[in-house]
Amino acid sequence: MSKGEEAKKLAGCAAAEKEVRNNQVLGTGSDSTIVHAVQGIAKRVKRGNRNHVCIPTSFQAHQLILQYDLPLSEPEIRHTIDGADEVDADLNLTRAVEATSPRKLWLAKPSVSL
């Protein structure tokens, strides 16, 4: 294992040990450092001393969570509030493309109501 890979492993394991608390909802990425963190989290969950729900940030993160048999969820957002550029008679909202960030779309999509 290269020094760079060893550093990533140490950083990921340290994050899993020091930063992740019990009963947290974890937004979970998929880069090479996070793989080591997810491995550490999975070990702690299997020992029975941690309970987490993971929300993937990408398809690769989704696969990683499944690979380590961690609880998987999608965000449950009851309501999203935001402005709109126009509202039609059927209460459909429109926004200018440049005003709609990917994060806004990500938050609004799973919302029960907008």
Question: Could you identify the residue written with the tokens 């001393």?
Answer: 49
Q: Given this model, what pLDDT does residue 114 score?
A: 46
Look up the pTM and report it: 0.64
Q: In CATH, what is the architecture of 3-67?
A: 3-Layer(aba) Sandwich (3.40)
Kindly give the confidence (pLDDT) of every residue in the chain, 114 residues in length, as a single tens digit, with 9 standing for 90 and above: 899 889 888 888 888 888 888 888 888 887 888 899 999 989 888 888 777 888 888 888 889 999 999 998 877 666 565 656 677 788 776 665 555 555 555 555 555 544
Domain boundaries, the chain: 3-67, 76-114
Cβ pair 32, 14 in contact under 8 A: no
Q: Given this model, what pLDDT does residue 96 score?
A: 59
Burial annotation 39-78 (CB, 10 A radius, 16+ → b, else e): bbbbebbeeeebebebbbeeeebbebbeebebeeeeeeee
CA 14, CA 62: separation in Å to the nearest integer?
22
